Amino acid sequence: MQRHNSPSALPNYGETNFITGMRAYAALVVVLIHAGGAGLRQLGAIGNHFADMGHAGVYVFFVISGFSVTSSYLSAPSYGSYLARRIWRVAPLYYFWIIVTASIAQGTNYWGQHFGMELDAYNWFMHVTFLGFLDYRVTNSIIGTEWSIPVEVFWYLLVPYIMGPITRARYGVLIAIPLSLAICVATTYLPAILPLDPDTAAIALYWSPIPYLLAYCLGISAFKLRQITPSRPYNVAIAAVLLASVIYSTNPPLFNRFVYNDLVFTSFATFALICLGSPKSFICRIFFQNRICLFLGTISYGIYLSHLPIKEALVKIVPSAEGSLGGFLLVALLSIIVSTATYYLIERRGLAISKWFERRLLSSVNSSRR
């Protein structure tokens, strides 16, 4: 996935630019569920199912992350360079939002209070070092969405080691997908054997990296399949995946006897769209490569981190905004405005710094060889 930039333009990934548009939808459905469902919950069971599927946006991000991390590693001169590039991608904005949110709240959020955790040195250490996945009590105790960032960093460390067998072995994809699916299904039985009450055990597992091996293996597999298959306008297949996703969202329990759970369905649907997507497809151009989606996808990381603090502040001012369509639209709009600013002021600067460090590292390595 080659990235083409100009100083003023948004990132352009060529054949896979549509994936940026997919990020936009993933971010907005996460906003949807945290903003109370945009009035959908008042429509009965179907509306509730649609709203609840907002949590699946994180699964989309994980599959896309597996794809983009594979591309990033293969284009990097070394493991250290690759890892620095990935950390600089996520750390600056993540640090910004945990500091801002903690400063405003003057303490932990609902989850921190639920588990009796304070905003102490231990909590800060676990957040700053991306080790929150090791302790469910603190991993989501400041922003309320940050649990996924340590999970991503965990897989950043491991993807280079698990991608080799998938991308190089002749039947790597055929082995990796069923194996990771089996592990994903098996993890759903872990809460029953953990020394915690069932609800806490389920939360601890959900906020850990373990269930998302499937998503990352599918992202890596999608990268390999795109390298060995020609890019074609698979419009009918893409339409079928999108239609299946909409139908599934209306009543997941009805379909889970076939796809097991939301994580499995969403991961495979995202995998299929990445494999099938192409700039030659008019469906991709309409739904994923229009300028609005490309822009929102580019700032989606900021939307993901900022929307919950913004929503919490808005509800304190306008309590009726909770769960309403107007409240969702206002949270989304404010998140987009703030994320646009942080993209140019923080994210792009972080990427520029990472490239500077990478050039210095390469320069010093080349000098030592002379």
- Determine the pLDDT at residue 233: 81
Looking at per-residue pLDDT, the higher value among 250 and 336 belongs to 336
User: What spatial distance separates the first Cα and last Cα of the chain, rounded to whole Å?
Assistant: 32
Q: Which of 288, 308, 227 is nearest to 60 (CA)?
A: 288
Statement: residue 119 has pLDDT above 50 = yes
Q: What distance in Å separates the CA atoms of residue 44 and residue 221, rounded to the nearest whole number?
A: 38
Angle between helices 18-34 and 291-298 (to 10 degrees): 70
Query: Is the pLDDT score of 6 beyond 50?
Result: no
| pLDDT 10s digits, 249-283 | 988 887 777 778 999 999 999 999 999 999 999 99
Between CA 142 and CA 242 the distance in angstroms is: 34
Q: Which of 89, 37, 59, 48 has the alpha carbon at shortest distance from 273? A: 59
- Compute the average pLDDT of residues 221-238: 88
Compute the average pLDDT of residues 346-352: 87
**Closest C-alpha among 120, 218, 135, 238 to residue 173:** 218
pLDDT of residue 81: 87
Which pLDDT tens digit goes with each residue over 292-307?
A: 999 999 999 999 999 9
Q: Is the separation of the CB atoms in 222 and 19 below 8 Å?
A: no
Q: What percent of the chain has pLDDT over 90?
A: 68
What are the boundaries of each domain within the chain?
20-359
Q: What pLDDT was estimated at residue 9?
A: 63
DSSP 8-state class, residue 193: T
Beta bridge mates, 4: 12
The per-residue pLDDT for 241 is: 96
Q: Mean per-residue pLDDT for 206-230?
A: 93
Task: Check pLDDT > 70 for residue 213.
Answer: yes
The arithmetic mean of pLDDT across residues 162-173, rounded, is: 86
In 10 A of CB 318, how many CB atoms? 13
pTM of this structure: 0.92
**Cβ contact 7:348 at 8 Å:** no
pLDDT at 106: 84
* Residue 42: predicted pLDDT: 87
Which of 58, 12, 22 minimizes the C-alpha distance to 284?
A: 22
What is the pLDDT confidence band of residue 192, given thresholds at 50, 70 and 90? confident
Integer Cα distance of 369 and 361 in angstroms: 13
CB 225 within 8 A of CB 275: yes
